[in-house]
């Protein structure tokens, strides 16, 4: 007989507990988060049997990013649109997979929230059975309900009401944080279909023992980025320019190619993830609104930091829904050191 989980708190009861901290709460936020966990359970079921049903491979179409759309990308996107677009809490949605925002008919609800999401992150890894994820960002509407528009969507990370991700790995885990702080992880027990609290109040170490970067792009990095990665490897002993925070730290390189999986491992173990700009991608590859900003909020609330190389990711006001940014995210001291190295030497392309 399997052991009873040590903590029987479901995510629903945790969210309700958080709601009690805000007596004026209407329950809309609780309902929205529950809808996101429901979507996560459906996507998890499909990801976990992907090899058995005709949901692997590509659809043969390209998305707004110019990337091949995987069948599971499309499936996950449709699940999110259906689960979030019908209850009236959400007035608009932005998806990595859709060129334009979706404005939702909220005749039954308050339309208080906007959700921006990457329905399936790391999709190039799906067919190889490597961990993938979902990333979501929740903003509050700033305009009157009958005037909802771009201004309600293009908000900086500072305005996030909540953010989080789901990782579909050896188990499915739901990690979220709200503006009142605290990062909490819930592991799906498929036998009862519930996310159970497994990682309460997650904190990330201050110093990185892991760095994650696609080293194949080194020839296309700036000299400053090359120097940062070199010092991450060799530490202070080899450099006259800056005291690398990884001095004498046994540092490992780990790169999965799924941002959520690399980010989650680094959050737990202490690491830094880098996606620098390259000559072909001067603005970087990762998307500000559906990848960098939500993970930056989770990272900051766990004691870490996220930068675009010159400033806090959370301070960047988006100009477009699919805006890309260079991303350096993880252990606070290490990312601050990277930002100092790059902004002093001008890490931009
Ligand atoms: P997505 O599958 O949502 O397009 O995201 C893929 C991203 C991210 O998950 C990962 O860190 C990065 O692409 C890997 O990029 P490279 O293959 O260029 O290293
Ligand atoms: Mn992604
Ligand atoms: Mn994606």
Average of per-residue pLDDT across 169-191: 94
Share of the chain above pLDDT 90, in %: 69
Q: By CB neighbour count within 10 A (0-12 exposed, 13-18 middle, 19+ buried), where does 239 fall?
A: middle
Residue range 11-199 in CATH 3.30.1110.20: no
Q: Which of 69, 98, 124, 217 to mutate to test the pocket of ligand 1 (most atoms within 8 A of CB)?
A: 124
- The domains of the chain are located at 11-199, 210-345
The encoded tokens of residue 237 equal 């002993």
Instruction: Provide residues with CB under 6 Å of ligand 1.
Output: 67, 96, 118, 121-124, 214, 257-259, 285
Nearest CA to ligand 1 atom 12: 257
List, for residues 273-283, the tens digit of each pLDDT value. 999 999 888 89
CA of 306 to the centre of ligand 1 (A): 17
Q: Which of 43, 133, 168, 258 to mutate to test the pocket of ligand 1 (most atoms within 8 A of CB)?
A: 258
Q: Which of 59, 96, 122, 132 to mutate to test the pocket of ligand 1 (most atoms within 8 A of CB)?
A: 122
Nearest CA to ligand 1 atom 2: 122
What is the per-residue pLDDT for 63?
72
Q: Which residue has the higher pLDDT, 4 or 304?
A: 304
Q: For the beta carbon of residue 238, count every other beta carbon within 10 angstroms.
A: 10
Confidence of residue 240 (pLDDT cuts 50, 70, 90): very low
DSSP string, 241-265: S---TTTT---EE---S-HHHHHHH
**Is 70 exceeded by the pLDDT of residue 5?**
no
What is the per-residue pLDDT for 1?
58
The encoded tokens of residue 199 equal 């990682």
Q: Which residue has the higher pLDDT, 214 or 20?
A: 214
What is the per-residue pLDDT for 49?
79
Q: The domain 210-345 is classified under which CATH number: 3.30.70.270, 3.40.190.80, 3.20.20.80, 3.40.50.970?
A: 3.40.190.80
CA of 72 to the centre of ligand 3 (A): 10
Nearest to 119 by CA among 144, 98, 148: 98
The encoded tokens of residue 151 equal 């201004």
Q: By CB neighbour count within 10 A (0-12 exposed, 13-18 middle, 19+ buried), where does 142 fall?
A: middle
User: Rounded mean pLDDT of the chain?
Assistant: 89
Average of per-residue pLDDT across 186-191: 94
In this structure, of 38-42, 139-143, 206-210, 284-288, the range with the lowest mean pLDDT score is 206-210
List, for residues 122-163, the tens digit of each pLDDT value. 988 888 889 999 999 999 999 999 999 999 999 999 999 999
What is the per-residue pLDDT for 301?
98
Residues 206 and 200: their CA atoms lie apart, in Å, by: 18
CA of 118 to the centre of ligand 3 (A): 5
The DSSP element (H or E) to which 332 belongs, if any, is helix 332-345
**Is 50 exceeded by the pLDDT of residue 271?**
yes
What is the per-residue pLDDT for 349?
46
């Amino acid at each position: 007989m399997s052991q009873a989980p040590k903590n029987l708190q479901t995510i629903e009861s945790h969210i309700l507990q958080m709601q009690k901290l805000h007596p004026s709460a209407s329950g809309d936020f609780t309902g929205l988060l529950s809808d996101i966990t429901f979507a996560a359970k459906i996507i998890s079921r499909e990801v976990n049997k992907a090899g058995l049903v005709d949901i692997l491979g590509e659809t043969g179409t390209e998305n707004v990013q110019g990337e091949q759309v995987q069948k599971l990308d499309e499936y996950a996107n449709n699940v999110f649109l259906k689960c979030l677009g019908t209850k009236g809490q959400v007035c608009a949605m932005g998806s990595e997979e859709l060129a334009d925002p979706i404005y939702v008919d909220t005749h039954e609800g308050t339309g208080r929230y906007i959700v921006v999401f990457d329905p399936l992150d790391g999709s190039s890894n799906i067919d190889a059975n490597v961990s993938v994820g979902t990333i979501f960002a929740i903003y509050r509407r700033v305009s009157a309900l009958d005037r909802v528009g771009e201004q309600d969507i293009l908000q900086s990370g500072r305005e996030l009401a909540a953010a989080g991700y789901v990782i579909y790995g050896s188990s499915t885990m739901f990690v979220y944080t709200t503006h009142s702080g605290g990062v909490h992880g819930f592991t799906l027990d498929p036998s009862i279909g519930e996310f159970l609290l497994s990682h309460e109040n997650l904190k990330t170490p201050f110093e990185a023992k892991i760095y994650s970067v696609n080293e194949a792009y080194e020839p296309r990095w700036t000299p400053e980025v090359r120097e940062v990665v070199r010092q991450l490897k060799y530490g202070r002993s080899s450099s006259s320019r800056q005291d690398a925070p990884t001095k004498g730290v046994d540092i490992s390189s780990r790169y999965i190619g799924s941002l959520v999986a690399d980010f989650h491992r680094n959050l737990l173990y202490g690491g830094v993830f880098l996606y620098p700009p390259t000559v072909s991608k001067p603005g970087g590859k990762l998307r500000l609104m559906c990848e960098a900003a939500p993970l930056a909020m989770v990272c900051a609330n766990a004691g870490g930091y996220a930068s675009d190389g010159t400033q806090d990711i959370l301070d960047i006001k988006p100009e477009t829904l699919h805006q890309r940014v260079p991303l350096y995210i993880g252990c606070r001291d290490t990312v601050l050191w990277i930002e100092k190295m790059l902004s002093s030497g001008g890490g931009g392309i």
